[in-house]
A and B are shown apart, each in its own frame.
Chain A
């Protein structure tokens, strides 16, 4: 991969110059190095300031009353007792709130509710306790409307229709086709069909969703817990019809987002309107119970896969139908139709393929992107199915995958990939894992198994991004980037990228971020594993601009002609000519510049048009299963991900480890349990919603770098935030099957499902 050709179009530098194509990270000084995360010490010691920590003079506390009905019209609403409670400063309901359009359905508070957890009223009071007491004094009388909770019920004739187009989002499935599936199935030696289900997974961020808002004559200032300051700012400006320069969103640290903090949600709007109404700053954070509907979630899906394979294992036809559950409104509904994603369409070479995805409206909370949306649900099903197919034709699951390897991006005109290191991921992960060797179980009633999965996550599309790099008078550099810190370390790697380009030590490069009023538009929000690949190239371009200006200033000071600055280079903060005859330190140049700072700006060049960009990887796990009590312990996990260049191995490893654990949670214990009669979530708490504990995680959770240099941008990176979750579930399910010969096709694979399957198998009502 070292000889990859980076197109000139992505290496555009300042004033007609061309950026150097970076080689192997071993040849670089800052990029590819394990710089500890900026802010880590502040977080560990508790001194990092989160939105929740913000205390303003005269601040009020807000609480939200949410609906306990799945679908109802509000027949009567009495707020008199709440308003009379000493300390209450404002109560907002649909009756007295100003008309602010929030979703396609209309105003931020309405006289109908479509799911349990939808906001009905908001209170601002002198203390948090008074605010919560007040919402319990609001009397709401509901007239029930017909409701439907389960997607399959909603698809039946006679179900209450929640949208004009019917309960199927947009009135029809999202269909993709190539070749002829029927023809392919006829050509196949073996035709196999199977159905899988995945459950609702919640983001369960450690920091609650909420904000502190001050709306005064200067405009709207929001201290937020957000994945991006710019997107929230733009949405609030638009919804409240304010000039963009009157809205400021501040967010330096975030206690977890995973897709749930991308946009302006109800709580932003309600806090803003309460602040406007009272003329005082308002703090609004959800209760943990309300977090579940407010953060939204990953859809549950019902997926059927059907394939035709030749005896030698060649895949000739693949059909994938997925039904996803979405809420009653259009907001978020598209996410319910993404389970037939990149995995099915791109991962394996298959000439005849069709996918059919339904997002089905129900009276349940709305969807939000949840770490690896679509592809995760897709691969939890597909990669179990691939193992089943491999078994049908009697081929090792890894060999089966390699046999059907796709060199080009089939759904996108068979474009070549900007890089595809999946084969390397397979080989290096299999080797490190010891694929094929099963260890002995630790007790007679336990069984060991091994399993693997491929993973894919769609790479970034072309987007604009801008960043700045300032050389301060003391010669230190400061990156200026309009991002929030989602917690994955984007701000840290930006300093590395700038340091590399500037020829400075990492330690002398800092960063300013997290305030929409003092940073450029570097990214709207950190979603889709895009921040490194979208914003990183802009940071490099800005650093290159600063470097160019530095060299021009140095040339003046060293008496070198401006046309000859190409002979200058910077290393460890010292600018010198090629023959080392003339040198000057960056600090000296900066000092001489004085208050006339060198400010570099840069923007991201577009992606090359003729390349497909996808992220790939392979995940291997070993489990030990006590099938009689349904207990699964993941002993080892090995993940190799081709995400392009690893800018910071320390952060890359922690992304991979954390992502695997979140995928393991979805595979083994996390699940929204909802009463399908009334739409009430029964486990809306961190105790019964089973996120893995420290005792559940594997002792070995290894992350491997296939050292791929991607050709799509000037830093050679594709993105890493989401991929490590995507294949975890299928790898675990495949390992459980390998251990027990029990194939549980419903996630999560909880003890009840394993014990039940074992019972059915021993009584002969189940095969495999």
Chain B
């Protein structure tokens, strides 16, 4: 691994100031599962530099907290461990979709290291991007190797182009389905935005998967209290039963009364460069009585814009099945 300087930050603001001070040469370090992996593999290019400085977020007090206030909702510090989210009793009871998603992340060892902020900010799993020998488009080269190469697993069927990554996070689809907000801290000011608008696709920004400025960090994710009768479900498909990213995943959160969906949010993971909000599918679900036929229609709507690549047409069917099942599961009273 390339050698680097590690600086302990004492507050989110100080972390942002340090990033500002070493602009372009520094990266925030959370669990390290992804960042150190990229550094060990020396993944770099014209548009992606390996950092000389790592700003340690673990030294910031209380950034790993998980708190809940009835009526106001849940707050997850950026450094909250994925395993803590998975095990948290309140989350299991009141935000089960989030606990389900957390339980699907990587392996137990990695969940013990991985953080909420790190999970949301991880880099894509495209194996061309992650190959040190190939100067792919996303690293600043001129070719997307996946377009005519092997795109069977971790490439887009929706919103792809000019780069065809998919967003790998399990937490993001669940948190967006829960209508979460994310608080970002810069050296001088902070801002809070819907988590959904935190992510961008590769047409908006080829080199970065979110709107974080180089001197900003994620401080906190806040999840509003779900309305009465709100239910959620997260389903993920992968090759092995553990330690695999999603081939596709589906997050459904909906309010139900008398078997009828009053409101819902539907997000797909592993299919697009960003967690994919399926608004047409939501429209197809709202006001409907949940049954097999409606669930199928919802799935069809969600994937109707799909443009699979040469080897991943199966992911359309996969995502439809997952979404259909998630709708039926969430709708089960």
Selected contact of B237 from candidates A68, A630, A690, CB within 8 Å: A630
A685 to B: closest C-beta gap in Å: 8
Residues of A near B5 (CB, < 8 A) are: none
Question: Quick check: A136 and B127 within 8 Å, CB to CB?
Answer: no
Cβ-closest chain B residue relative to A67: B133
Could you tell me which residues of chain B, from 1 to 44, have a CB within 8 Å of some CB in chain A?
Answer: 1-3, 41-42
Selected contact of B240 from candidates A132, A630, A690, A758, CB within 8 Å: A690
Question: Quick check: A693 and B318 within 8 Å, CB to CB?
Answer: no
Question: Quick check: B242 and A752 within 8 Å, CB to CB?
Answer: no
Question: Quick check: A675 and B145 within 8 Å, CB to CB?
Answer: yes
Question: Quick check: A695 and B242 within 8 Å, CB to CB?
Answer: yes
A334 within 8 A of B: no
B246 to A: closest C-beta gap in Å: 11
Question: Quick check: B149 and A695 within 8 Å, CB to CB?
Answer: no
Cβ-closest chain A residue relative to B110: A687
B107 within 8 A of A: yes
B153 within 8 A of A: yes
B75 to A: closest C-beta gap in Å: 31
A137 to B: closest C-beta gap in Å: 12
Selected contact of A680 from candidates B42, B134, B241, CB within 8 Å: B134
Residues of A near B243 (CB, < 8 A) are: 687, 693
B321 within 8 A of A: yes
Residue interface bits A689-708, CB-to-B below 8 A is 1, else 0? 01011111000000000000
Cα of A683 to Cα of B41 in the assembled complex, Å: 13
A759 to B: closest C-beta gap in Å: 6
B150 within 8 A of A: yes
Q: A692-B240, A693-B243 are in contact. Are A675 and B149 (CB under 8 A)?
A: yes
Question: Quick check: A751 and B247 within 8 Å, CB to CB?
Answer: yes
Cβ-closest chain B residue relative to A693: B242
Question: Quick check: B314 and A755 within 8 Å, CB to CB?
Answer: yes
A688 within 8 A of B: yes
Residues of A near B127 (CB, < 8 A) are: 673, 682-683, 688
Cα of A677 to Cα of B145 in the assembled complex, Å: 10
Selected contact of A690 from candidates B42, B148, B244, B315, CB within 8 Å: B244
Could you tell me which residues of chain A, from 640 to 683, have a CB within 8 Å of some CB in chain B?
Answer: 669, 673, 675, 677-678, 680, 682-683
Cα of A751 to Cα of B244 in the assembled complex, Å: 13
Question: Quick check: B42 and A752 within 8 Å, CB to CB?
Answer: no
Residue interface bits A730-762, CB-to-B below 8 A is 1, else 0? 000000000000000000001110011011000
B152 within 8 A of A: yes
Selected contact of B317 from candidates A688, A694, A759, CB within 8 Å: A759
Cβ-closest chain B residue relative to A130: B3
Question: Quick check: B241 and A693 within 8 Å, CB to CB?
Answer: yes
Residue interface bits B310-333, CB-to-A below 8 A is 1, else 0? 011111011001100100000000
Question: Most chain-A Cβ atoms within 10 A of its Cβ — which of B42, B311, B321?
Answer: B321
A41 within 8 A of B: no
Cβ-closest chain B residue relative to A69: B133
Question: Quick check: A752 and B3 within 8 Å, CB to CB?
Answer: no
Question: Quick check: B314 and A696 within 8 Å, CB to CB?
Answer: no
Q: A-B pairs with CB below 8 Å: how many?
A: 83
Selected contact of A695 from candidates B2, B152, B240, B314, CB within 8 Å: B240
Cα of A81 to Cα of B312 in the assembled complex, Å: 44
Selected contact of A750 from candidates B133, B148, B239, CB within 8 Å: B239
Residues of B near A474 (CB, < 8 A) are: none
Question: Quick check: A693 and B131 within 8 Å, CB to CB?
Answer: no
B128 within 8 A of A: yes
Residue interface bits B114-157, CB-to-A below 8 A is 1, else 0? 00000000000101100101100000000001001110110000
Selected contact of B314 from candidates A445, A633, A677, A752, CB within 8 Å: A752
Question: Quick check: A751 and B152 within 8 Å, CB to CB?
Answer: no
Residues of B near A758 (CB, < 8 A) are: 317
Could you tell me which residues of chain A, from 453 to 480, have a CB within 8 Å of some CB in chain B?
Answer: none
Question: Quick check: B149 and A68 within 8 Å, CB to CB?
Answer: no
Cβ-closest chain A residue relative to B313: A756
Question: Quick check: A630 and B318 within 8 Å, CB to CB?
Answer: yes
Cα of A68 to Cα of B321 in the assembled complex, Å: 40
A396 within 8 A of B: no
Cα of A356 to Cα of B125 in the assembled complex, Å: 41
Cα of A758 to Cα of B317 in the assembled complex, Å: 10
Cα of A338 to Cα of B2 in the assembled complex, Å: 43
Residues of A near B247 (CB, < 8 A) are: 751-752
B291 to A: closest C-beta gap in Å: 15
A388 within 8 A of B: no
A501 to B: closest C-beta gap in Å: 46
Selected contact of A129 from candidates B3, B241, B318, CB within 8 Å: B3
Cα of A758 to Cα of B321 in the assembled complex, Å: 13
Residues of A near B41 (CB, < 8 A) are: 289
Cα of A42 to Cα of B43 in the assembled complex, Å: 38
Residues of A near B325 (CB, < 8 A) are: 445
Cα of A396 to Cα of B41 in the assembled complex, Å: 52
Cβ-closest chain B residue relative to A682: B127
Question: Quick check: B318 and A696 within 8 Å, CB to CB?
Answer: no
Residues of A near B1 (CB, < 8 A) are: 129, 132
Residues of A near B244 (CB, < 8 A) are: 690
Question: Quick check: B318 and A755 within 8 Å, CB to CB?
Answer: yes
Q: A136-B42, A682-B128, A693-B107 are in contact. Are A752 and B153 (CB under 8 A)?
A: yes
A518 within 8 A of B: no
Residue interface bits B220-262, CB-to-A below 8 A is 1, else 0? 0000000000000000011111111001000000000000000
Residues of B near A755 (CB, < 8 A) are: 314, 317-318
Question: Considering the complex of A and B, which 8 residue pairs feature the smallest CB-CB distances, nearest first?
Answer: A695-B241, A682-B127, A68-B133, A755-B314, A693-B242, A628-B321, A695-B242, A756-B314
Residues of B within 8 A of A (CB): 1-3, 41-42, 107, 125, 127-128, 131, 133-134, 145, 148-150, 152-153, 237-244, 247, 311-315, 317-318, 321-322, 325
Q: A630-B318, A682-B131 are in contact. List 7 more A-B contacts (CB 8 A).
A: A132-B1, A682-B128, A688-B127, A693-B107, A693-B241, A759-B313, A759-B317
Chain A to chain B contacts (Cβ below 8 Å), 15 pairs: A136-B42, A628-B317, A628-B321, A630-B318, A669-B240, A673-B150, A673-B152, A682-B127, A682-B128, A682-B150, A687-B243, A690-B240, A695-B241, A751-B239, A752-B311
